[in-house]
Amino acid sequence: MGLFDKLFKKEETPKVVTEKGALYAPITGRYIPLEEIPDAVFSQGILGPGCGIEPQDGVAAAPADGTVTQVTDTKHAVGITTDDGAEILIHIGMDTVEMGGAGFTMKVKEGQKVTCGQPLLTFDISKIKAAGHPTCTAFVLTNADDYPDFVIETGKDYKRTEKIGKLK
């Protein structure tokens, strides 16, 4: 770490050793079946397969190496295309678009290359709850036709960057 990094407290992303075709937990928390997400668009799999996450902290990180393909104006959701071609949507909370960006800080921009574990956005769980919204976060594979055997093991807690699934 250089002098300027120490002075300006530059955030460092620890290097995650990844395996081809694997996805890693973007958020520390409880991973639940898609059907338990309190929003029909997600719970019915309309946007694709995946899971819900009950977050334990307010950091959403890249689930694999890739490129940021979408950043919402309200900073509550981000899309990434992994280097393996998977299109992932991470949508923090339900109906949080209504918050207009309050409580969210985007750490990346569209077109930016990211590495697994690199923070994409931060969010304030208490502000989401205070606004009356569920904190349950959707983690969805939007190009599921390319990965028909995609599965994430749910019903357990993961720490950010732990392996959660494999693209097949």
DSSP string covering 1-53: --HHHHHHT---PPPP---TTEEE-SSSEEEEEGGGSSSHHHHTTTT-SEEEE
Report DSSP state, residue 85.
S
Asked if 69 and 124 count as a contact pair (C-beta separation under 8 A), the reply is no
The token duo for 116 is 């697994």
What is the enclosing helix (H) or strand (E) of 114? strand 113-114
Count of CB atoms situated within 10 Å of the CB of 21: 16
Candidate list 75, 91, 107, 133, residue with the active-site label = 91
Active site residue 76: no
Active-site positions read: 91
